[in-house]
Amino acid sequence: MVPLKINLYELKEELKRALIHRLSAITPYEHPLDWAWIAYAFSCDGQKNNPLFEQSVDALEKWAISEEAGIKDKNLAPLCLCYFLSSNQDIKHIISNKAESILKRVIIKKGITKFSPLNDPEQVFCVTLGLKDIITKYSHQLIEIIIKNMNGRPLRKALYLASLFEMERNTHKLPEVEGIQNPEDIITILWLFERYKSEHSEKIKFLWKSYENVHASIGFDITDSEGLILISNRTLALLYETVTKETKGPNPDMLFDLYPLHPQIKKIAEKHFKSKNYVGAIFEATKKLNEFIQNITEIKDKEEVKLVQATMKQNNPIIVFNDFFHEKSGENEHFGLALIAEGIFKAFRNPKGHKPEDHPMLKMDPYEALDQLIIIDYIWKRIEQARINKK
């Protein structure tokens, strides 16, 4: 997950509310493409047991099989999106016939004129996304159109590149990410990298920071965006898909709150964890564990690994983890827990205390930080339950 100041989980909920609000202001018969994009956004949360998706697609399907759908050339994109989203094979068959009829009309009869829908990257992307079963018939013409029209603003190039990726023609370079300022361009390029080229982590991080810089200037609510840049339904849908990809795991702050960490660990780590300073959260928790062991054993002249060795790894340990130390199984558990405690200081604490914060060893996502906090928490609680033989 990319570390940002904005909360992506809260942003996702804000975007969903905006999508619902925008859907309520239109109908698929008046604005089929806008409706289709919003249905596409809802699909990012899964198609099963998803009432928002099911209701929006049902209405879109009714439009798609109506006599009205397919009359205009620009109906191509919403028909193709509907084909992509629908699971009803009978309806998909009707839609594919209508969409292919438009393609034939546009490519063969009319030719690619200035006003052709295929000069619109949004239309082309929807075609390549939806009509994979029949796209091979027209792939040569579509590729020619894409290459001819690739120049222009970043948004335009991103959608044409996405079309090539959908056609499994990914020989073109991804666009440069520096210098993009328009919010719709930033969002669309970010979506392109998130959807197709996630290994470019540094560029994705840069694009998220670019989005963060313009976030306050973007309007999502169609009724309350005075002075803001109101993004299109398509861009809103692409942003929703992008945020959904970034938040595919549960909210780490929520997990932190719900997990019953020891109060001392939660108190020392919370500020750092929730400000996304995950390394700092672990560093402080290990220092607190060291202090706890010193206090409970009254050994103040040793720290960390040496402290563990002096209190847990002797034949007659100060900290005894169970009442069966005289038995092999009890002894094994005791020394195993001692090794875990020693490992906490060696693996969790020492790199964080001796490496600069930008070192690759210190890169950590919130889930790894939670894993480490839970291990620290477990050892802390076992020490609390242990018998202490003070010397």
Q: What is the pLDDT of residues 97-153, one digit of tens each?
A: 999 999 888 886 655 667 788 889 999 999 999 988 777 787 888 888 888 888 888
Q: Please list the residues that pair with 142 across neighbouring strands.
A: none
Q: Could you tell me if residue 1 is inside a domain? A: no
For residues 109 and 147, membership in a common domain is answered with yes
User: Domain for residue 2, yes or no?
Assistant: no
In a domain, 86, yes or no: yes
Quick: pLDDT tens for 232-287.
Answer: 999 999 999 999 998 887 778 878 998 999 999 999 999 999 988 999 999 999 99
Contact at 8 Å (CB) between 370 and 274? no
- The residue out of 215, 249, 283 marking a domain boundary is 249
Q: What's the pLDDT at 356?
A: 57
Structure confidence at residue 59 (pLDDT): 98
The whole-number pLDDT of residue 352 equals 63
Same domain, residue pair 240 and 288: no
Return the CA Rg of the chain. 28
Residue 358 shares a structural domain with residue 266: yes
Range list of H helices, the chain: 8-24, 32-43, 51-64, 76-85, 89-104, 121-130, 139-149, 154-166, 183-196, 201-214, 233-246, 252-258, 263-274, 278-297, 304-312, 328-343, 350-354, 366-385
Beta bridge partners, 387, equal 320
Taking the CA atoms of residue 293, residue 296, residue 297 and residue 299 in that order, the dihedral angle to the nearest 10 degrees is 70
94 plus 191 within the same structural domain = yes
Using the predicted structure, report yes or no on whether residue 14 has a pLDDT greater than 80.
Answer: yes
Q: 155-207: per-residue pLDDT in tens?
A: 999 999 999 999 887 666 777 788 888 999 999 999 999 998 766 667 888 89
Among 186, 215, 249, give the residue marking a domain's end: 249
Q: Are residues 261 and 132 in the same domain?
A: no
Task: Specify whether 195 is located in the same domain as 121.
Answer: yes
Retrieve residue 374's tokens.
Answer: 């839970």
Mark whether 245 and 261 lie in a shared domain: no
Within 13 Å of residue 373, how many CA atoms lie on the same side as its CB? 32
- Label the pairing between strands 387-388 and 218-219: unpaired
Contact 38, 25 (CB under 8 A): no
203 and 258 both lie in a single domain: no
Mean pLDDT, range 323-351, rounded to an integer: 93
Residues 78, 33 share a domain: yes
CA–CA dist 111, 138 (Å, integer): 13
Final residue belonging to a domain, choices 249, 279, 311: 249
pLDDT at 391: 64
User: What pLDDT sits at residue 369?
Assistant: 94
Q: Is residue 275 part of a domain?
A: yes
Segment 309-337 shows an average pLDDT of 94
Under a CB-based contact definition with an 8 Å cutoff, are residues 318 and 304 in contact? no
Which residue reads 């103040």 in tokens?
300
Residue 139 lies in a domain: yes
On whether residue 62 sits in a domain, the answer given is yes
- The CA-based angle 3-188-133, given to 5 degrees, is 120
- pLDDT for 113: 65
| Burial (CB count <10 Å: 0-12, 13-18, 19+), residue 85 | buried
Dihedral angle, C-alpha 88, 91, 95, 98, nearest 10 °: 160
Structure tokens at 134: 């029949």
Confidence of residue 355 (pLDDT cuts 50, 70, 90): low
Does residue 3 fall inside a structural domain?
no
- 212 lies in the same domain as 323: no
69 and 210 fall within a common domain: yes
Query: How many distinct structural domains can be found in the chain?
Result: 2
Query: What range does the domain containing 338 cover?
Result: 254-388
> Tokens 């963060």, residue?
212
CA torsion, ordered 48, 51, 55, 60, to nearest 10 deg = -40
Q: Across residues 4-9, what is the average pLDDT?
A: 82
Q: What is the pLDDT of residue 1?
A: 57
Q: Per-residue pLDDT averaged across 335-364, rounded?
A: 80
Sequence letter at residue 153: R
Residues 308 and 294 in one domain: yes
**H-helix or E-strand spanning residue 72:** none
Nearest Cα to 174, choosing from 189, 184, 195? 189
Span 379-391, pLDDT tens digits = 999 999 999 987 6
Backbone angles phi, psi at 241, to 5 degrees: -60, -40
The whole-chain average pLDDT of the chain stands at 90
Residue 53 within any structural domain of the chain? yes
Tell me the pairing of strands 229-230 and 218-219.
parallel
- Looking at the predicted structure, is the pLDDT value of residue 311 above 90? yes
